[in-house]
Chain A
Amino acid sequence: MFRRTLMTTAAVAALAVATLSSASAQSLIRLGAAAPMTGPLAGGATVTHWPAVRLWVSEVNARGGLQLADGPATIELIEYDDQTNPQQAIMAAQRLATQDQVDFMVAPYSTGMNLAAAPVFAQLGYPMITGTAVTDQQPELAQQFPNMFFVLGRTSVMAEDTAHVLVDLRERGEIGNRVALVNVADAFGIEMAGISRSVLESNGFEIVYESSYPLGTQDLAPVIDGAKASNPDAFIAWSYPGDTFALTDQAIVQNFAPHVFFTAVATAFPAYEARFGAAAEGVLGMGGVNADDPAFQAFATAHTELNGQGPDFWASAATYATLEILGQAIEAVGAPDRAAVLTYLQDRSHSYETVLGPVSFNENNDNEAYWTVGQWQDGVFRGVAARGREGAVPVQVFDGWE
Chain B
Amino acid sequence: MFILITGLLLGGTYALIAMGLNLQYGVARIMNLANGEMLVAGGFAAFWVYTAGQVNPIAALIVVAPLAFAVNWVLYRVMLQPLVTRAKNRGQLETDSILATFGMSFAFVGVMTWVFGGGYFNYAFLAQPFEMFGSSYAQNRIVAFLIATVIAAALWLWLTYSRAGLRMRAVAVNPRSARLVGIDVKATSALAFALGGAITATGGSLISMFFTLDASVGVLFTMKALIIVIMGGVGDIRGTIIAALILGIAETAVARLIDPGLTLAAAYFLFLAVLLFRPQGLFGKKPT
User: Which residues of A are in contact with B by a Cβ distance under 8 Å?
Assistant: 36-40, 42-43, 45-47, 84, 182, 185, 211-214, 216-223, 225-226, 241-242, 245-246, 249-250, 252-255, 266, 269, 271, 275-277, 309
Contacts and interface: CB of A to CB of B under 8 A. Distances in A.
B129 A219 contact: no
B103 interface: no
Contacts of A47: 119-120
Contacts of B269: none
B136 A38 contact: no
A43 B113 contact: no
Contacts of B24: none
A33 to B, nearest CB: 14
Contacts of A42: 113, 118, 214-216
B212 A219 contact: no
Given A40-B216, A212-B260, A275 B118 contact: no
B252 interface: yes
A249 B261 contact: no
Contacts of A36: 118
Given A38-B113, A213-B260, A223-B260, A276 B212 contact: no
A82 to B, nearest CB: 12
Given A37-B113, A43-B118, A252 B127 contact: yes
Given A38-B215, A253-B138, A275 B2 contact: no
Interface string B252-288: 1001100111011000000000000000000000000
Contacts of A226: 255-256, 260
15 contacts: A42-B214, A42-B215, A47-B120, A214-B263, A214-B264, A217-B263, A219-B10, A226-B260, A242-B120, A246-B212, A253-B138, A254-B135, A266-B120, A269-B120, A271-B120
B49 to A, nearest CB: 17
B280 to A, nearest CB: 28
A245 B261 CA distance: 18
A250 B138 CA distance: 8
B158 interface: no
A333 B119 CA distance: 37
A338 to B, nearest CB: 30
Contacts of A246: 210-212
B119 A222 contact: no
A245 B256 contact: no
B122 A275 contact: yes
Contacts of B27: none
B178 to A, nearest CB: 39
Contacts of A220: 260
A267 B261 CA distance: 22
B80 to A, nearest CB: 24
Nearest to B128: A253
A249 B260 contact: no
Contacts of A241: 120, 212
Interface of B: 2-3, 6, 9-10, 13, 109-110, 113, 117-120, 122-124, 127-129, 135-138, 210-212, 214-217, 220, 251-252, 255-256, 259-261, 263-264
Contacts of A40: 216-217
B111 to A, nearest CB: 11
Nearest to B254: A222
A216 B263 CA distance: 12
B17 to A, nearest CB: 12
Contacts of A37: 113, 118
Contact of A225 (B10, B215, B256, B259): B256
A390 to B, nearest CB: 31
A254 B216 contact: no
B255 A46 contact: no
Contacts of A43: 118-120, 214, 216
Contacts of A216: 220
A39 B119 contact: no
Contacts of B136: 253-255
A277 B264 CA distance: 32
B122 A271 contact: yes
Given A221-B6, A275-B123, 9 more contacts: A38-B109, A39-B216, A40-B216, A182-B260, A211-B260, A222-B260, A225-B256, A241-B120, A253-B128
Contact of A245 (B109, B117, B212, B216): B212
Contacts of B264: 214
A143 B2 CA distance: 53
Contacts of A221: 6, 9-10, 137-138, 252
A46 B119 contact: yes
A221 B5 CA distance: 11
Contacts of B214: 42-43, 46
A37 B138 CA distance: 32
A212 B260 CA distance: 6
User: Lowest 8 A-B CB distances belong to which pairs?
Assistant: A222-B255, A42-B118, A46-B118, A43-B214, A213-B260, A222-B256, A46-B119, A245-B212
A254 B252 CA distance: 16
A79 to B, nearest CB: 12
A221 B10 CA distance: 10
Nearest to A226: B256
Given A40-B216, A218-B212, A213 B119 contact: no
A225 B216 contact: no
A401 to B, nearest CB: 10
A249 B259 contact: no
A77 B13 CA distance: 43
Contacts of B211: 218, 242, 246
Given A219-B13, A249-B127, A254-B135, A38 B118 contact: yes
A310 to B, nearest CB: 12
Given A38-B113, A43-B119, A214-B264, A276 B124 contact: yes
A246 B6 CA distance: 14
Given A185-B261, A255-B129, A213 B255 contact: yes
A84 B118 CA distance: 12
